[in-house]
Amino acid sequence: MSGVLLNKKIVLGVTGSIAAYKAADLVRRLQDAGAEVRVVMTQSACEFITPLTMQTLSGSPVAIDLLDTVQESTMGHITLARWAGWVLIAPASANTIANLAYGQTDDLLSALCLATESPVAIAPAMNNKMWQNQVTQSNLAQLSARGIYIIGPDSGDQACGEQGEGRLLEPNDIVDELSRIAVPARLQGKHVVVTAGPTFEPIDPVRFMGNRSSGKMGFAIAKAAAEAGAKVTLISGPVALMTPPSVTRVDVETAEQMHDASMRHTSDSNIFIACAAVSDYRPETYQDSKLKKTQSSQLQLKLTINKDIVAAVAAKKNRPFVVGFAAETDNVEQYAKDKLIAKKLDMIAANKVGDGLGFGVDDNALSVFWQAGSKLLPKAPKSHLARDLMTIIIEQYYAKNTTEST
Ligand code: PMT
């Protein structure tokens, strides 16, 4: 990702947190990456690190007060909001996060965030109980839904003596993450359709056949595609997840509904990513009323096969670039390659399920295969894997569609 931040104008917001001292190093790391940095501090940030330190390191005056006549006549909050190519708040305290969520403008940094049309990223830092608090999480969800990027936090020892999530990421990691987010939108003008989650196949009004897919992998892929600038349609089975920002969600329940939605939404799509765990079979008949327990010790359920969605999209005349998934418990590579060929896919991402990976959990590991190559994406949070997978998909999409420009 080197070079992404070259000549980028970054307003670095520093808020009141014991981690504010790391902001000094962050200025240097951003400058090393080629960025021009202006610093805005909240009053409480000044209790932890002096404006003079930040001014000396950034080489520019530090803005603090919203109502400072001198600053407002030079680099006021509106001017700064226009100047910024990016606003990065690190550390972002629980208070500033709440201010941003509610559109409060009682300090210069919050006012600037409301006024800017540029992307905003925040790197939270706080005590782990404050981080886990429902109020903080709901504020973050609101910010994320509005397209504000959340970088971190890390977990480990905290200044308060506790352990847990809420530590500011190290400056180098913040710069890496920002570089990753700020990559030019290579899928601008492209339509990506993603399937995610399980399908539920009804047996009777209260029972269904389903599986343990949480939708986390597919939702992370939809988010990564949107971050790459694509118009994204996310066809989701029943899951308990928030829709990622700028993503259009289509809710379905059964494999048949997912099939119909996929066929409809891929009519003008460039890339189709089938991450859903689709039920291969469904009960042959749906019982209108609840199945009653009988005296018999056995009950037989007759199943009938569902249509293969990803194969059906790949068989379309004007097919998009088609990426399938393979969830395997053994012999991952061979089964995945067989599916790549049998379903006529452009690419397949295989995951070995079990042992804390795959279904339901936050981490995964992927082996990605396409006709002329392969790549291993080692164990990582699904959000990271999704971005790395998107990078491979974008490369192979443009390798196949050589007439299109990135
Ligand atoms: O949702 P999470 O909890 O985050 O878990 C993620 C995941 C493990 C579900 C995901 O990474 C994954 O592996 N998804 C595919 C699971 C699956 O059904 O694999 P499969 O090997 O049975 O199917 C192969 C491919 O065919 C998949 O792309 C699947 O979407 C597709 N398929 C399968 C059956 C069917 N009727 N239609 C299909 O399109």
pLDDT of residue 169: 96
Q: If you take atom 21 of ligand 1, which residue's CA is the nearest one?
A: 326
Q: Residue 130: inside a domain, yes or no? A: yes
With a 6 A CB cut-off, is 272 part of the ligand 1 pocket? no
DSSP helix/strand/coil, 242? coil
Q: Residue 4: inside a domain, yes or no? A: no
Q: Which positions are catalytic?
A: 160
Does residue 254 sit in the same domain as residue 332? yes
Does residue 223 sit in the same domain as residue 166? no
With a 6 A CB cut-off, is 262 part of the ligand 1 pocket? no
CA of 200 to the centre of ligand 1 (A): 14
Does residue 242 sit in the same domain as residue 174? no
pLDDT of residue 258: 98
Q: Residue 372: inside a domain, yes or no? A: yes
- Give the sheet arrangement for strand 149-150, strand by strand: 36-41, 9-14, 86-92, 120-124, 149-150
Q: Which atom of ligand 1 is nearest to the CA of 361?
A: 3
| Radius of gyration from C-alpha coordinates of the chain | 24
Q: Between residues 165 and 311, which one has the greater pLDDT?
A: 311
pLDDT of residue 336: 97
CATH number at residue 233: 3.40.50.10300
Exposed/middle/buried for 88, CB within 10 Å: 0-12, 13-18, 19+?
Answer: buried
pLDDT of residue 233: 98
With a 6 A CB cut-off, is 215 part of the ligand 1 pocket? yes
CB 327 within 8 A of CB 351: yes
Does residue 97 sit in the same domain as residue 222? no
First and final C-alpha spacing in the chain = 16
pLDDT of residue 180: 81
pTM: 0.72
Q: Residue 46: inside a domain, yes or no? A: yes
Q: If you take atom 14 of ligand 1, which residue's CA is the nearest one?
A: 275
With a 6 A CB cut-off, is 278 part of the ligand 1 pocket? yes
Q: Which atom of ligand 1 is nearest to the CA of 195?
A: 30
Does residue 159 sit in the same domain as residue 230? no
Does residue 32 sit in the same domain as residue 100? yes
Residue range(s) defining the domain that contains residue 231: 191-285+297-405
Q: If you take atom 23 of ligand 1, which residue's CA is the nearest one?
A: 326
With a 6 A CB cut-off, is 280 part of the ligand 1 pocket? yes
Number of domains in the chain: 2
Q: Residue 159: inside a domain, yes or no? A: yes
Q: If you take atom 16 of ligand 1, which residue's CA is the nearest one?
A: 277
pLDDT of residue 182: 83
Q: Give me the mean pLDDT over the 272-281 stretch.
A: 98
With a 6 A CB cut-off, is 112 part of the ligand 1 pocket? no
The pLDDT confidence band at residue 157, using thresholds 50, 70 and 90, is: confident
Closest Cα to residue 201, out of 238, 235, 236? Answer: 238
Q: Give me the mean pLDDT over the 76-87 stretch.
A: 88
Q: Give me the mean pLDDT over the 276-288 stretch.
A: 97
- Rounded Cα distance between 29 and 174, Å, is 9
Half-sphere exposure of 158 (CA within 13 A, CB side): 20
Does residue 196 sit in the same domain as residue 334? yes
Q: Residue 26: inside a domain, yes or no? A: yes
CA of 180 to the centre of ligand 1 (A): 27
pLDDT of residue 69: 60
- Rounded Cα distance between 374 and 296, Å, is 52
Q: Is the pLDDT of residue 2 over 60?
A: no
